[in-house]
Amino acid sequence: METTSKLTLGPVFFNWAPEKLRDFYFRIADQAPVDTVCLGEVICSKRLPFYEGLIPDIAERLEASGKEVIFSTLALVMNEREVSAIYALSQKPEFYIEANDTSAISCLKGRRFAVGPFINVYNEATMDYLIGCGADRICLTCELPSRSIRILAEHSTVPLELQVFGRMPLALSARCYHARLHSLHKDGCQFVCDQDPDGRSVETLEGDGFLTINGIQTMSHSYVSLLAELRELQDIGVYRFRLSPQDVDMVGVAQIFRQVLDHRLDPGEGQNQLETLSGNVAFSNGFYHGGEGCHYINP
C-alpha cells in the first residue's frame, strides 16, 4: 500500500470553451505540482463534441510532463448512445479509466480501473465488491465523516482518495437546471451553462448562498477545504487528495496544498492564502467533522 501523499486534479465539471480548457490543462501540465489528472466529460455528454478532438493533445502534454492521466466516465448515463460511448472507452486497454456510474463498472469488470466519487462507497462490503471487479483505487464521496473514512481506510487493500478542495458534487438529475432557468428545453438548451464557468449560485428566500447548479448537477455553494485535515487523513491512511477544478488559479491552489503536504507551509497560513486566491467564496468542511456540510469548523 502506498504511503506517499499525492495530488489528483479531478475532471472539470463546468462547460468551459474548448480554448480555455486546452490552455487550462497545458498550464496544469507545465506548472501544477499534481501527480494525476482526470480528463473527460462527467456531467453532460452534449458538451463533449466541442472539445473531444483536443483530448489526445492534452493527454500527451500531461504525460510528457510526468503526470498520470485518467479518463473519467459520465456520472449519469441516460441513453444507449452514452452506454455505447462508455463501452467503446472500456475497450481501450491502454487507458486508465475512472468509473463514475455502475454501467461503467459493468463494462470495466475484470480489468484495472479506478472508482470515482459519484459511486457511493459507504461500507466495507461495497468496497470489497468493487475491488473484486478490478478497482485498484477508490475516490470516496465527500459526505463521509472522518470516523467512516478511518474504518474504510483500515479495511481497504487499495489506495483511497478524498476531495479536499472545490465545490462538492451532491446530486444529479435527469432535468437540466440551466435550461429550465432560461426557459429552454433540455434538448435545445443552447449550452447556456457556459455562462456560469464556476456554476450558478442558488440563494434562499433570505438571499443567503445555498447551493450551486451546473447543468444537471447540484453542487455545494461553498468550496470544501481540508487543508487543516491533511495530516489527520495521512494518519488515517489516506494519501491521495483530489482538487476539483474551479474557475480560479488552480496552479496556485495545487501549490498551496503541495506545500502543506510537504510541511513547508502551516495549514492556517495555507487556508488564508486559499481564501485570498479564491475571492469571496465561502469554505466548508462540516461533512468531515460529522456535521452539516455547509459549515466550516476551524480546527
At 57 the pLDDT is 97
* Residue 179 included in any domain: no
What is the C-alpha separation between 254 and 277, in angstroms, rounded?
11
Q: Which residues pair with 8 in a beta bridge?
A: 36, 242
Residue type, 11: P
Domain assignment present for residue 199? The answer is: no
**Is 182 inside a domain boundary?**
no
Task: Note the pLDDT of residue 187.
Answer: 84
Written as nine digits, the cell of 229 is 485535515
> What is the extent of the structural domain holding 53?
6-167+222-284
CA angle 153, 114, 44 (to 5 degrees): 120
Task: Give the orientation angle of helix 250-261 with respect to helix 267-278, to 10 degrees.
Answer: 180
Alpha-carbon span 189 to 257, nearest angstrom: 37
What is the longest distance spanned by two Cα atoms in the chain? Answer: 52
CA-to-CA distance for 251 and 253, rounded, in angstroms? Answer: 5
Helical (H) or strand (E) element with 69: strand 68-72
CATH code of 262's domain: 3.20.20.70
C-alpha cell at 255: 501549490
Please, how many CA atoms are within 13 Å of residue 242, restricted to the half-sphere of its CB?
26
Task: Report yes or no on 291 lying in a domain.
Answer: no
> Are 161 and 241 spatial neighbours (Cβ–Cβ below 8 Å)?
yes
Task: Give the pLDDT confidence score for residue 125 in this predicted structure.
Answer: 98
Q: Has residue 77 been placed in a domain?
A: yes
Residue 70 lies in a domain: yes
Cα 5 versus chain centre, distance? 17
Tally of CB atoms within 10 A around 204: 9
Domains identified in the chain, total number: 1
Q: How far does CA 139 lie from the centroid of its chain?
A: 9
Residue 203 lies in a domain: no
Cell of 200: 450558478
Per-residue pLDDT of the chain (299 residues; tens, 9 = 90+): 677 899 999 999 999 999 999 999 999 999 999 999 999 999 999 999 999 999 999 999 999 999 999 999 999 999 999 999 999 999 999 999 999 999 999 999 999 999 999 999 999 999 999 999 999 999 999 999 999 999 999 999 999 999 999 999 999 999 999 999 899 988 889 999 999 999 999 988 888 888 999 999 999 999 999 999 999 999 999 999 999 999 999 999 999 999 999 999 999 999 999 999 998 899 999 999 999 999 999 87
The model's pTM is 0.96
The Cα–Cα gap between 198 and 210 comes to 15
H, E, C per residue of 199-247: CEEEECCCCCEEEEEECCEEEEEEEEECCCCHHHHHHHCCCEEEECCCC
Cell reading at 106: 459493468
- Return the CA Rg of the chain: 18
DSSP bridge pairs for 219:
169, 212
User: What local confidence, expressed as pLDDT, does residue 207 receive?
Assistant: 85
Question: Is position 188 within any domain?
Answer: no
